[in-house]
Homo-oligomer: A and B are copies of this chain.
Amino acid sequence: MAMSRQAKVILDVLRSVTSHPTADEVYEMAREAMPRISLGTVYRNLEAMSESGLVLKIYVSGTQKRFDGNPKPHYHIRCGVCGRVDDIDLDLLVDLDRTAQEATGYDVLSHSVEFVGVCPRCRNQEGVNAAPGKSYTSRNPKDDK
């Protein structure tokens, strides 16, 4: 039942941000509270927490997994320029699973929706700056490919 000190820090970090950090972004943030925590521990705990449903592991386009401190189902939108991922407040498409079930013969359990676009900050930079999105939180240019 008891949560290790490390696990507590990791969960706190994840709940304190609205972004959807990658494992090593969580690691960097956790290090501020606990400098000797290891990256392996962060991975292990994030994995365990997502397995137990405490947090969400999200697979948006790109190379790195991201984690979401809000385990309630919701959709995501990703900025194709800077890579940040935000929650999007849309009603869940509740009929969709049934429709999909009829179309495929699968037992459909769930679905996810990911939008791709350009976030307000990047839109305002475009054409002005040769290196768009530089220094934004949660940025991960590699993800654009």
Contacts and interface: CB of A to CB of B under 8 A. Distances in A.
A109 B88 contact: no
Given A60-B59, A61-B59, A111 B115 contact: yes
A101 interface: yes
Given A77-B100, A88-B103, A117 B109 contact: yes
Interface in A88-126: 88-90, 93, 96-97, 99-101, 103-120, 123
A101 B117 contact: yes
Given A90-B103, A105-B120, A106-B79, A111 B111 contact: no
Interface string A65-92: 0000000000101011000001011100
A40 interface: no
Main secondary structure of the interface of A (DSSP, over half): mixed
Nearest to A119: B106
In this complex, the interface size class of chain A, counting residues with CB under 8 Å from chain B, is 35 or more
A68 B81 CA distance: 24
A100 B90 contact: yes
Nearest to A108: B117
B115 A113 contact: no
Interface of A: 47, 59-62, 75, 77, 79-80, 86, 88-90, 93, 96-97, 99-101, 103-120, 123, 145
Which 6 pairs from chain A and chain B are nearest by CB? A106-B117, A108-B117, A59-B61, A107-B118, A111-B115, A100-B115
